[in-house]
């Protein structure tokens, strides 16, 4: 158990819909990262937040957005969903410094029908 | 951005030592080498990180030659539960984001 929690574990929705994925970091960790893992693209970094502020952006689509709240939990919002958005979405947390170990959550499996 | 190259897959038997080599020819002076392990449908798990020479922890050893253009993850006496995908990453100095490649699928047989 990494100490990072993600909800829900599974999500099934239809194209065009919007969903919200939630992540609670390990106690004391200030940084939260979101990753997407699909069969064809592998594990891709989406976005990082540090203590409520966006710190780094990766391959995140404009239809996706995220935020980190004062209690440090984070939400990833996916809108106008397409079939290709079906994937595993992982959240990771760390203290926030460079080269610090990231601890990954169990993931949310999203299926868009 | 330093690109990493590692074998797509490897096979081993229980009790053997497994060495997975990763090449990273364009690694910069202050970059670190990090390895993660991932089981199916689970999040990656940190194994080990190093800068040069040798690093050892309770799970694995990491060997990095002087030129740092490659590194070798060594797993002693593997068991069936070590069957997983192993990712070699170069972590850029001053940055904390991770760039994952395709990894090495290690299959351990009885």
Chain A residues inside the 8 Å CB shell of B103 = 42
Contact indicator for A21, A65 with CB cutoff of 8 Å:
no
Q: Kindly report, residue by residue over B11-67, the tens digit of the pLDDT.
A: 999 999 999 999 998 888 888 999 999 999 899 999 999 998 999 999 999 999 999
Q: What is the pLDDT of residue B3?
A: 85
Interface residue ranges in chain B relative to chain A, Cβ cutoff 8 Å: 32, 34, 38, 41-46, 49, 87, 91, 93-103
Contact indicator for A78, A21 with CB cutoff of 8 Å:
yes
Least Cα separation, residue A15 to chain B (angstroms)? 23
Asked if B46 and A102 come within 8 Å (Cβ–Cβ), the reply is yes
Strand ranges (E), chain A: 5-7, 10-13, 19-24, 31-38, 42-50, 53-57, 64-68, 74-78, 87-94, 103-104, 108-112
Q: What is the pLDDT of residue A78?
A: 98
Cα–Cα dist B107/B1, whole Å: 30
Asked if A98 and B91 come within 8 Å (Cβ–Cβ), the reply is yes
Asked if B44 and A104 come within 8 Å (Cβ–Cβ), the reply is yes
Cα–Cα dist B71/B64, whole Å: 5
Digit-by-digit pLDDT tens for chain A (113 residues) are: 889 999 999 999 999 999 999 999 999 999 999 999 998 888 999 999 999 999 999 989 999 999 999 999 999 999 999 999 999 999 999 987 877 899 999 999 999 99
Asked if A44 and B95 come within 8 Å (Cβ–Cβ), the reply is no
Residue B7 has pLDDT above 90, yes or no: yes
Mean pLDDT (chain A) is: 95
Asked if A44 and B100 come within 8 Å (Cβ–Cβ), the reply is yes
Among B34, B93, B99, beta carbon nearest to A45: B99
pLDDT band at residue B1, thresholds of 50, 70 and 90? low
Could you count the other beta carbons within 10 Å of the beta carbon of residue A106? 18
Q: What is the pLDDT of residue A59?
A: 85
Q: What is the pLDDT of residue A96?
A: 79
Residue B96 has pLDDT above 80, yes or no: no
Q: What is the pLDDT of residue A61?
A: 95
Beta strands B84-91 and A19-24: pairing type?
A: unpaired
Q: What is the pLDDT of residue A11?
A: 97
Contact indicator for A44, A59 with CB cutoff of 8 Å:
yes
Least Cα separation, residue B37 to chain A (angstroms)? 11
Q: What is the pLDDT of residue A44?
A: 93
């Amino acid at each position: 158990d990494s100490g990072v929690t993600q909800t829900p574990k599974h999500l099934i929705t239809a194209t065009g819909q919007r969903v919200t994925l939630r992540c609670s970091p390990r106690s004391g960790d200030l940084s939260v990262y979101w990753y997407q893992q699909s069969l064809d693209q592998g594990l891709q970094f989406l976005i990082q937040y540090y203590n409520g502020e966006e710190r780094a952006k990766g391959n995140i689509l404009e239809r996706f957005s995220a935020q980190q709240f004062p209690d440090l939990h984070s939400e990833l919002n996916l809108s106008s969903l397409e079939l290709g958005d079906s994937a595993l979405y992982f959240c990771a947390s760390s203290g926030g410094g460079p080269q610090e170990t990231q601890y990954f959550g169990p993931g949310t499996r999203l299926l868009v029908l | 951005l330093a690109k990493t190259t590692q074998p797509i897959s490897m096979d081993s038997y229980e009790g053997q030592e497994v060495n997975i080599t990763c090449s990273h020819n364009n690694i910069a002076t202050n970059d670190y080498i990090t390895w993660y392990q991932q089981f199916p449908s689970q999040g990656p798990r940190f194994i080990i990180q190093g800068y040069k020479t040798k690093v050892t922890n309770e799970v694995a050893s990491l060997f990095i030659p002087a030129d740092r253009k490659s590194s070798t993850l060594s797993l002693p006496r593997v068991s069936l539960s070590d069957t997983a995908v192993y990712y070699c990453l170069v972590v850029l100095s001053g940055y904390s984001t991770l760039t994952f490649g395709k990894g090495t699928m290690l299959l351990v047989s009885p």
